[in-house]
Amino acid sequence: MDELRIGEILLEIALLMTTSYLLGGLLVRFRIPVILGALLIAMAAHYTPLGERLLSPELAPTFQFLGDLGVLFLLFFIGLQIDLDEMREQSRDIIWATVLNTAVPFLLGVLVMLALGYGWMVAFVIGLTRMPTAEAVIVPILDEFNMMRTRVGRFIVGAGVLDDIIEVLLVAMVSVWIGEYSAGDISTAISVEQEIGVLIISLLSFVAVSIVSYRWLLPAISNWLPRRQRNLMLLAMAVLFGFGGFSEYSSLGIVVGAIVAGVLVRPLLNMAGEVGEQTGKSIEAVSYGFFGILFFFWVGLSVDIEGMLHEPLLAILLFLAAFIGKLLGIFIMVPMGKLNVREAWVIGIGLNARLTTEIIVAKLLFDAGLIDNHLFTALIAASSLSTIVVPLLFTFMVRRWGTQLTQKSTGSV
């Protein structure tokens, strides 16, 4: 890429950031998180020459990589906020939340597809796309309202992390199904066994390396250099990119690696005292002031408003299957005594954030000829609708009940 092209890209990103900054000044007056300004600006830019250029085959991979870095840093900062002891105290409730907020939308998604005349296999896989959560979209809003360490924050982050495991299984399952469609029975059986075997080995290897790093390796090397902010930042970045790359290479996804990296680095910052606290603030500034903005730019540019207009009914049905399903699943926990009504509303809406998984699965199915353009467009539109509605609705709910949702996470209720 020549210097002129690099200069153009920098100026285009500067334009997006400047307009986001100006819009953020208006949003903050209504107590709407500034980072949503980046989402709205990018959505508007989607249908301009600027959006077309950034989404062109030449620049899209670069911009998507920047968006992936945004996910990496946002979720790394989430990991820094996780207290394993507190998460362990709520682990049973979080598992309940994960099971209920994935099972109900799955069933509704399957029923919608069957009612529309699709076969069982397509209905099953499309039902699975109603399950996962894109917590990176919601967590910046939680952090904006200082709710990361509340019960609501713990449930959304905890259930979101477990959803990421479901995402891995979902993509693997679809890949196997595509292999079955395009190959014979014997080769398919071998493919299934290999997929499951590789996934199990990768997961066990990742867990083993994480435990060794947490207990022995990182505490030992954290004193290798003087405890200065730049040295701690260097070590934190090494852990982030190392575990992010390892988890992606192991087919677990960068989401899992980024959050685990944050969990591993937190004790190191705690041991460093004031210097560690300053390093944490620097990571937060970089995550939300730069990389997080780039992520929301990519999300906004990916929103397909035209798709919603072309396939409105099917897109809305798919959106409602997930939206209502997740709310119903979380609300089951109210009579169980796990949550109150306000918490159920906010958590249920927060867990409705979706983006990458259903788009990836939709593309896999479409490229393999297993779904038609009608269903493919509707899946993209449903994801886009979620991207627009959920952050705004979540912000409204938190603004309305924020003072009543600030109870610290202290275990099961």
**Residues 190-204: tens digit of each pLDDT:** 455 566 677 778 878
State the pTM of this model. 0.68
Cβ atoms within 10 Å, residue 310: 15
φ, ψ of residue 100 to 5 degrees: the values are: -70, -40
Read off the pLDDT band of 283 (50, 70, 90): very high
Does any domain span residue 93?
Answer: yes
Does any domain span residue 39?
Answer: no
With 0-12 / 13-18 / 19 or more C-beta atoms within 10 angstroms meaning exposed / middle / buried, residue 192 is middle
Residue given tokens 């076969």 in the structure block: 119
| CA 200 vs CA 24, 178, 203, 219, 251: distances in Å | 45, 20, 5, 28, 10
Does any domain span residue 265?
Answer: yes
For residue 142, the domain's CATH number is 1.20.1530.20
Nearest to 238 by CA among 268, 216, 199: 268
- pLDDT score for 248: 80
98 contact partners, CB below 8 Å, separation of at least 6: 158, 159, 162, 163
Cβ atoms within 10 Å, residue 120: 10
| CA 202 vs CA 68, 75, 212, 293: distances in Å | 21, 21, 15, 32
Q: How far apart are CA 182 and CA 140, in angstroms?
A: 41
Best-predicted range by mean pLDDT among 246-255, 304-313, 325-334, 386-395? 325-334
- pLDDT score for 236: 95
Domain extent at residue 218: 69-404
Does any domain span residue 326?
Answer: yes
Does any domain span residue 55?
Answer: no
- pLDDT score for 412: 39
Work out the angle at residue 41's Cα, subtended by the Cα atoms of residues 38 and 45, and round it to the nearest 5 degrees: 130
**Residues 73-127: tens digit of each pLDDT:** 887 887 787 766 666 666 778 888 888 888 899 999 999 999 988 888 788 888 8
- pLDDT score for 211: 93
Q: How far apart are CA 382 and CA 364, in angstroms?
A: 17
408 DSSP 8-state letter: B
**Residues 367-379: tens digit of each pLDDT:** 667 777 778 778 8
Does any domain span residue 34?
Answer: no
1 contact partners, CB below 8 Å, separation of at least 6: none
Does any domain span residue 148?
Answer: yes
Residue given tokens 């709310």 in the structure block: 327
Does any domain span residue 316?
Answer: yes
237 contact partners, CB below 8 Å, separation of at least 6: none
The widest CA-to-CA distance across the chain, in whole angstroms, is: 65
359 contact partners, CB below 8 Å, separation of at least 6: 302, 379, 380, 383
Residue predicted with more confidence, 233 or 64: 233
**Residues 61-79: tens digit of each pLDDT:** 888 888 888 878 887 887 7
82 DSSP 8-state letter: -
Read off the pLDDT band of 332 (50, 70, 90): very high
Flag whether pLDDT at 187 surpasses 60.
no
Residue predicted with more confidence, 248 or 230: 230
Total domains in the fold of the chain: 1
